[in-house]
């Protein structure tokens, strides 16, 4: 009789473990207000309790930079939308996704993926969806430039705005001096 009790207890215990295991599957999920205050940075919780959730960091030229708790399978475009979109559209061509496979090693060039936000909106069909809009992994860091990169011609334009009036004033002074001597 004790054998049947033990067998019945083991069945009930295994059913209990089977039913409650999903509750313990995501022990790092921060959902409480106290946990959000502990981070000390902007923490945005877009977690889905029915899915596995991951944390990623979005930095730079978005309206709400910070750490995001998102469902696994979220793409770069999704997280840019969740973070309030780009502040300046000119920065859309140089988005960097840092995907560090080994936490102990230094960052390598192949761990940095450069993305262009505009490539998704071209009329031509995409060759690879994952290349243009990769799915985020746990620990990924998305860096969006705050201001666009300056080219050589941008610098020339800035210098010419200052130099042109100075040359005009210099030419005027030389002309006035030359005419006053005659």
Domain boundaries, the chain: 29-144, 153-182
Residue 129 pLDDT exceeds 60: no
pLDDT tens figures, 60-84: 888 888 899 999 989 888 898 888 8
* Euclidean distance between CA atoms 72 and 49, whole angstroms: 11
Distance (Å, rounded) from C-alpha 64 to C-alpha 166?
Answer: 43
pTM (predicted TM-score): 0.57
Q: What share of the chain is helix, strand, coil (3-state, %, to 5)?
A: 45, 20, 35
Closest CA to 56 of 129, 136, 114, 2: 136
CB 146 within 8 A of CB 91: yes
Q: Which residues pair with 59 in a beta bridge?
A: 143
Predicted pLDDT of residue 130: 43
Query: What CATH number has the domain spanning 29-144?
Result: 3.10.560.10
């Amino acid at each position: 009789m004790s054998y049947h009790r033990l067998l019945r207890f083991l069945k009930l215990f295994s059913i209990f473990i089977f039913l409650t295991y999903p509750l313990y599957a995501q022990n790092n999920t921060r959902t409480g207000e106290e946990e959000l205050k502990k981070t000390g940075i902007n923490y945005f919780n877009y977690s889905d309790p029915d899915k596995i959730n991951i944390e990623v960091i979005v930095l730079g030229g978005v309206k709400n930079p910070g750490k995001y708790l998102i469902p696994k399978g979220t793409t770069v475009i999704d997280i840019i939308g969740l973070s309030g979109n780009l502040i300046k559209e000119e920065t859309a061509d140089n988005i960097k996704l840092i995907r560090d496979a080994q936490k102990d090693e230094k960052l390598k060039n192949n761990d940095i993926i450069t993305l262009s936000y505009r490539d998704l909106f071209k009329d031509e069909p995409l060759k690879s969806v994952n290349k243009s809009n990769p799915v985020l992994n746990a620990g990924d860091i998305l860096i969006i430039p705050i201001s666009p990169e300056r080219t050589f011609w941008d610098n020339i334009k800035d210098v010419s705005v200052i130099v042109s009036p100075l040359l005009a004033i210099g030419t005027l002074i030389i002309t006035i001096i030359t005419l006053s001597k005659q």
